[in-house]
Amino acid sequence: MKSRLGAVLIIGLLLAILSPNGFAHERNDGSYATIVDEAGNNVYMTGRLLQPGDQVLTENNRKYEVVRVEGDTAYAKLIEEVDLSLYYKEPEQGILAQFKGFLEPATARAEGSGKVAIYHTHSDESYVPTDGKESILGAGGIYKVGARFAKELESKGMNVAFSEAKHDPHDDMAYERSRRTAVNLIKKEQPDAIFDIHRDAVPPQVYGGKIDGQDISKVQLVVGKYGPTGKQIEDYALQIKAASDKKHPGLVKGIFFAKGGDYNQDLHPRSMLLEVGAHTNDRESAEKGIALFADVIPTILGKSSAPTGPNAAGATNADGNAGLGSAAGGASGATKSIGWILGLLIVGGAAFLLLSTGGLKEAGAKLKNFASTEFANFLAPKSRKRRKDNEPSEQADRKDDK
């Protein structure tokens, strides 16, 4: 009996260690992998452990699949050039946004919470130039990158649940430990999206970049293709990169698709693992990179980037009046929507009248005829009824005169 129980425990332990969820897919020998194409050109670098079937999408949207791995070199074939315009949805603005906001049921408008959850599976990860070493158990520099992400999202009107739970040590079971954190965040906060923030382990130039005149560390998206949600998360990652390429070209260095990985992404349809810079980049550049990445999230989640400060909704301005919903804030959204609809009906009617008559003069004549004839005919039955009702009294008056 004891031997059978021992065998079951050993098998269970092996399954937990070798499960896609627990397998970290990261190299632990201090080196990194270089992916080359059929012509021998370097197309990608990553600190992740590669195997045949893994795929990468490069910064210029060329997708490769690893066919064999020899030491630190992975050989890949080009699968396709991905058209990310198919994954990008232009934010609705102006009249269309007004119409949608007015016609959409209130329950649908309130469907999303506008909340984002953030946590760190590898709570030790740090940045050598800034933090002094690449790993600090329980207090990695990665927490400051996560905190900057949360701060920037909040400045855009998003609600953020930021977990600082620790999941040390940095081993193959870290994802099993962080899974409990992710489950608790999802159950308690019910976020629209959840992010697990990491950093990579490659030379500094791989993630180094300059955007809007500032030195930043780029961001890599990591997708686990193992499990039932793999394709859904893959499409979600492509949507994120498409929006990022529009907002901040060059910010997302690429997407890594792990054939056998899961990374707890089965828990939520908008779960994403981010790698912000590498241990060789300074933390300040990583914070700048994640701050730019925060610009993309409201668009992805279908939320307008709400301002914060004295003019935000519910805030009070210098005169002591509420910024929105007051005279100072102007008309409410519903009033503006009704105004837009009435205005469009008038403009549409005028355009139809002009097109049907062929000119301004004819349109004016038809409008005048409608006012004098059609409108009068519409009122005529009421006038006749009033005259008919008055006839008996008029006849009585004439008899009295006689």
Answer yes or no: do 87 and 234 share one domain: yes
How many whole angstroms separate alpha carbon 56 and alpha carbon 79?
10
- Among 274, 300, 326, residue at a domain's last position: 300
- Among 278, 300, 322, residue at a domain's last position: 300
Q: Does residue 325 lie within any of the structural domains?
A: no
Q: What is the pLDDT of residues 129-188, one digit of tens each?
A: 999 999 999 999 999 999 999 999 999 999 999 999 999 999 989 999 999 999 999 999
**Cβ–Cβ under 8 Å, residues 221 and 241:** yes
Q: Does residue 30 lie within any of the structural domains?
A: no
Cβ count near 59 (within 10 Å): 19
Confidence of residue 89 (pLDDT cuts 50, 70, 90): confident
**Cβ–Cβ under 8 Å, residues 311 and 276:** no
Q: Does residue 385 lie within any of the structural domains?
A: yes
Q: Does residue 168 lie within any of the structural domains?
A: yes
**Cβ–Cβ under 8 Å, residues 272 and 193:** yes
Side by side, the strands of the sheet bearing 115-119 are 42-46, 33-36, 73-81, 62-70, 55-57, 252-258, 219-224, 271-278, 193-200, 115-119, 159-162
Query: How many percent of the chain have pLDDT more than 70?
Result: 63
Answer yes or no: do 289 and 378 share one domain: no
Bridge partner list, 161: 117
pLDDT score, position 7 = 44
How many whole angstroms separate alpha carbon 110 and alpha carbon 200?
37
Domain count along the chain? 2
Q: What is the pLDDT of residues 40-72, one digit of tens each?
A: 999 999 999 999 999 999 999 999 999 999 999
Answer yes or no: do 161 and 248 share one domain: yes
Answer yes or no: do 121 and 253 share one domain: yes
Instruction: Report cis status (omega within 30 of 0) of the bond before 381.
Output: no
Answer yes or no: do 264 and 369 share one domain: no
Q: Does residue 68 lie within any of the structural domains?
A: no
pLDDT at 91 over 90: no
Structural domain harbouring 287: 83-300
Highest mean pLDDT among 151-160, 295-304, 364-373: 151-160
pLDDT at 88 over 80: yes
Q: What is the pTM of this model?
A: 0.69
Higher pLDDT, 281 or 1: 281
Q: What is the pLDDT of residues 219-273, one digit of tens each?
A: 999 999 887 888 999 999 999 999 999 999 999 999 999 998 899 999 999 999 9
pLDDT score, position 26 = 73
